[in-house]
Amino acid sequence: MADYAHPEVLVSTDWVAQNLNNPSLRIVEVDVDTKAYDEGHIPGAIGWAWNTQLCDTVQRDIIPKAAFESLMGSSGVGNNTTVILYGDNNNWFAAWALWQLKIYGHKDVRLMNGGRKKWLAEGRELTKDAAKVTPATYKAQNADLSIRAFLPQVQEALAKKSADMVDVRSPQEFTGEILAPPGLPETCQRGGHIPGARSIPWAQACNEDGSFKTADQLKTLYANAGISGNRPIIAYCRIGERSSHSWFVLTYLLGYKNVTNYDGSWTEWGNLVGAPVERGAAAAAAS
């Protein structure tokens, strides 16, 4: 992992296995499928539910600061705790959690490379036992919104052509052939992508075992789509979790500056009255 720009934000499954009893760590599983944790998890890991604990459950937003402090404290996470995040779908929502921990200024948070998929495939120890947690006191920093893009910023970037838009959804979602990932509920009125966005599906950043590709491979992947890191980058997907994954890659593995995650994503843009939409793949290929 030494060739990444910030290798300190990534740990291997081996490293986690060797640090299960490290008292300075809190291992947290965050899954798309919120039942996966109950089936069996890394010994000592706790589980966070993305849809109830990592968001505002009334208005659409990330977790509010006070709720975040409460979650961290009740999870036994202090300000100096090292948080190790992992989850299913190659860390989709683990990356979403990491992005929010960064927003609230947590000092040391890392992803387990390969996530739950790699841990299971390697036949490593699992348990159904609940982790022992001693509640802690946690004080979050004010939200750092420099890593988050809101609709007006995206609209301005589109109008001024001042940022590279990276659409990390599947090619079929990008073209507008489907409105949501196959098998999941349709949550937008229109299909397609933000005009000028480049299609770089999140999964292209991963190896078959769920781990990240090398820095050189990632650099080439993005460069081939015209993304070199010399302009601001706005990543988006459908609801912001897959784009958290790509935001992590661009920010920490490639070290690109000024990368933001537009978590409103397609469920916001694809429902906006009057928002420009591009369909098909031609525009992306031509750019």
Partner 1 sequence: MKAEEHATRTLEVEGGWQVKLTSYRLGEVYRCTADNVSPGANIARAEGATREEAESKALERAKQLLGRTRRQSIGS
Q: With beta carbons less than 8 A apart as the criterion, state whether 144 and 137 touch.
A: no
274 makes contact with partner 1 (CB under 8 A): no
35 makes contact with partner 1 (CB under 8 A): yes
196 makes contact with partner 1 (CB under 8 A): no
Q: Show the tokens assigned to 208.
A: 């078959």
Exactly one of 151, 186, 189, 226 binds partner 1 (CB under 8 A); that residue is: 186
Q: Show the tokens assigned to 14.
A: 């081996």
Q: How far is the CB of 192 from partner 1 (least distance, A)?
A: 8
Q: Please, which residues bridge with residue 260 across strands?
A: 234
20 makes contact with partner 1 (CB under 8 A): no
Q: With beta carbons less than 8 A apart as the criterion, state whether 111 and 86 touch.
A: yes
Dihedral sign for Cα atoms in the order 81, 86, 87, 92: positive
| Residue range at the interface with partner 1 (CB under 8 A); choices 59-67, 171-179, 252-260, 263-271 | 171-179
Span 233-252, contacts to partner 1 by CB under 8 A: 242
Exactly one of 120, 131, 136, 275 binds partner 1 (CB under 8 A); that residue is: 120
Backbone angles phi, psi at 194, to 5 degrees: -65, 130
Exactly one of 81, 100, 175, 246 binds partner 1 (CB under 8 A); that residue is: 175
Exactly one of 56, 57, 61, 184 binds partner 1 (CB under 8 A); that residue is: 184
Exactly one of 57, 80, 127, 162 binds partner 1 (CB under 8 A); that residue is: 127
Exactly one of 23, 152, 182, 274 binds partner 1 (CB under 8 A); that residue is: 182
Exactly one of 61, 121, 195, 285 binds partner 1 (CB under 8 A); that residue is: 121
Host H or E run for residue 152: helix 151-160
Q: Which of residues 35 and 160 has its CB atom nearest to partner 1 in the complex?
A: 35
* Cα(222)–Cα(229) distance, integer angstroms: 9
| Residue range at the interface with partner 1 (CB under 8 A); choices 4-12, 156-164, 180-188, 260-268 | 180-188
Q: With beta carbons less than 8 A apart as the criterion, state whether 90 and 114 touch.
A: yes
Q: What strand order describes the sheet that includes 25-31?
A: 10-11, 109-112, 82-86, 25-31, 46-49
Q: With beta carbons less than 8 A apart as the criterion, state whether 168 and 90 touch.
A: no
| Residue range at the interface with partner 1 (CB under 8 A); choices 10-18, 44-52, 103-111, 183-191 | 183-191
CA distances from 183 to 49, 91, 110, 179, 190 (A): 21, 20, 31, 11, 17
Residue 179 DSSP class: S
Annotated catalytic, 237? Answer: yes
Q: Which of residues 208 and 216 has its CB atom nearest to partner 1 in the complex?
A: 208
Q: Which residues contact 70 (CB under 8 A, 6 or more apart)?
A: none
Which residues contact partner 1 by CB under 8 A?
A: 32-33, 35-36, 39-40, 88-90, 92, 117, 120-121, 123-128, 169-173, 175-184, 186, 191-192, 201-203, 242, 279-280
Residues with catalytic annotation?
237
